[in-house]
Each structure stands twice: as structure tokens, then as C-alpha cells.
Amino acid sequence: MTRAHTLSEKLALSILAREGIAAIWQLNEAAAEAHRTGHPIAAASLVEIADAAEAAWLRAEGAREFAV
């Protein structure tokens, strides 16, 4: 049984599929810019998506590492 993905996880997977690993860095840069320009809620949302993307990427890397 698989667990339901949160909206952030769904967005992260979609962005990763389309943009690749560089998306994680770009999302964090966008979060920093949002924070600097006075948009803390948007910044927090972007960080949450970036974290979900990084976690998904690390899970995928681990699965490849242990694949025979």
C-alpha cells in the first residue's frame, strides 16, 4: 500500500521530472528571493517543495544504488 502524496510532494515530483536535479537549487534560490522581498509564506512554501524534491531524489538515488 502506498501512502498519499502531499501537494508539495506532487509538485516536487512534477518539477523534478520536468526540470531535473537543478530544480532543487532553483527552488531554494526562489525561496531566498521571496524571503528577501517580504514574502515569507511563499518562501516557506518553496522551501517545502524543495525539501520534498530533495527527499524524492535521494530516495530514487538510494533505490538505484541498491538495485542489482
CB 12 within 8 A of CB 53: yes
- pLDDT digits 0-9 by tens, 11-57: 999 999 999 999 999 999 999 999 999 999 999 999 999 999 999 99
What's the pLDDT score for residue 4? 66
Give a yes or no: residue 11 inside a domain.
no
Give a yes or no: residue 2 inside a domain.
no
- The structural domain count of the chain equals 1
Give a yes or no: residue 36 inside a domain.
yes
CB atoms within 10 A of CB 15: 19
- CA dihedral over 51, 46, 44, 2, signed as positive or negative: negative
Q: Which of 3, 1, 18, 4 is nearest to 53 (CA)?
A: 18
Q: Name the phi and psi angles at 2, rounded to 5.
A: -95, 150
